[in-house]
Structure 1
Amino acid sequence: MRSLIVTEFMSLDGVVDSPGGGSHPHAGWTFKDVEMDEAAYEIKGREQQEAGALLIGRVSYDEFAPVWPTMAEFAEYNAMPKYVVSTTLTDPQWHNTTVLRSLDEVAELKRGEGGPILVHGSATLAQRLAAAGLVDRYHLLIFPLVLGGGRRLFAADGADKQKLVLVEHATYGNGVQLAVYDVAH
């Protein structure tokens, strides 16, 4: 069985909205508001090397598909199988992309062979996957910012309690913290 890993840039108050750009009032907060420290991004390179597939929601697909294929630093992601959970996407143009229509199809994908499945950027999808018991691990880069509002990784209302086990952590010179948690199933 494959593991499903949710990987996010997150503010100290739990916001994952528009870290690199987008519609949030503070869009781009990871690069505009915190000094760059290459060491903090080591996990991102490791994720690309170890991943067997990328899983995203429709909104993230619409944001990533026009940009990531042109970026050399995402070569591994561009080459690997990509899955989009969507009921409306019909003809994905990003190389090697398959549309999954339900979380049941995600569960089936997990039961297959291959490396870890990474969920990037898709907060709503991550919440749905967690509620369905499909998340195995979280890779969080927590930035020393309080944004006050925006999409959050962990739903404030109605979410079931999840016990997490810290398996890796680090703090970098710019105040960013890495926290890797396994979900205790």
Structure 2
Amino acid sequence: MRTLIVSAFISLDGVMEAPGGEEGYRNAGWTFNQVHHDAAAYEIKAREQDEAETVLLGRCSYEAFAPIWPQMTEDFAGYNAMPKYVVSTTLDKKDLVENWGEITILRSVDDVARLKDTEGGPIIVHGSATLGHHLADAGLVDRYHLLVFPLLLGAGKRLFSVADKDATRLSLSEHETYGNGVQKMVYDVAREGS
């Protein structure tokens, strides 16, 4: 079974919306506008490209990334070469960009579970708050790669859902604090019997 990793920039209060400056959110661009840049904090992003074999996105994140990432040939060469899967009930094949390699539309969390059961390396999820909620609630997330920024943003899309469910135990497997106050936290989801 493949490892499914959710990777996110989040504020201390769990907001993940518009970290790079997407329009329509009051605190858009908070990772760059509110916190001093420290390149060391982004080491995990390069490692993710080296280790992952597949990118999984929700529709909104796909629509935000698809016009930009294919043009970023140096920074996102690894991601651009990987097969990409988009979970959406509304996108059609005609809605997909043609310059971003292999892209497959999945229609449900059950389709993601079937993808996890295939052979291959890790599947990485970027952005995709709603998809992340559904994946976590279905017990499909194996690991979280979090860069936690020392900000309280209040309103905004959150990394974790508010579903009334059993507790999920996590095991901290990696942690580092950088000079700008950003913390890298890598958590593995503890499964029964582990």
SS in 2 for 1:87: coil
**Matched residue type, 1:52:** E
Structure 2: distance between partners of 1:32 and 1:102: 35
Structure 1: distance between partners of 2:30 and 2:164: 28
* 1:160 CA drift (Å): 3.7
Q: Deviations over 1:18-60 (max 9, x none)?
A: 1002221011100111111111000000000000100000000
Alignment partner, residue 148 of structure 2: 142
Q: How does 1:13-28 map to 2 (within 5 A)?
A: 13-22=13-22, 23-28=24-29
Q: Deviations over 1:120-163 (max 9, x none)?
A: 00111011000111000000000001101100011234244211
**Matched residue type, 1:82:** K
The alignment's C-alpha RMSD in Å is 0.9
| Residue 169 of structure 2 corresponds to residue 163 of structure 1 | yes
What's the % identity of the aligned pairs? 64
Gaps of 5+ in 1: none
SS in 1 for 2:179: coil
One of 71, 83, 94 as aligned partner of 2:85: 83
Q: How does 1:60-99 map to 2 (within 5 A)?
A: 60-71=61-72, 72-91=74-93, 92-93=96-97, 94-99=100-105
Alignment partner, residue 131 of structure 2: 125
Number of positions where the alignment pairs a residue of Structure 1 with one of Structure 2: 185
Alignment partner, residue 37 of structure 1: 38
Structure 2: distance between partners of 1:74 and 1:160: 37
Which TM-score applies when normalising by structure 1? Answer: 0.97
CA contact (8 A) 2:137 2:163 kept: no
* 1:113 CA drift (Å): 1.1
Alignment partner, residue 102 of structure 1: 108
Which TM-score applies when normalising by structure 2? Answer: 0.93
**Matched residue type, 1:54:** V
| Residue 180 of structure 2 corresponds to residue 177 of structure 1 | no
CA contact (8 A) 2:16 2:157 kept: yes
CA contact (8 A) 1:131 1:160 kept: no
Alignment partner, residue 111 of structure 1: 117
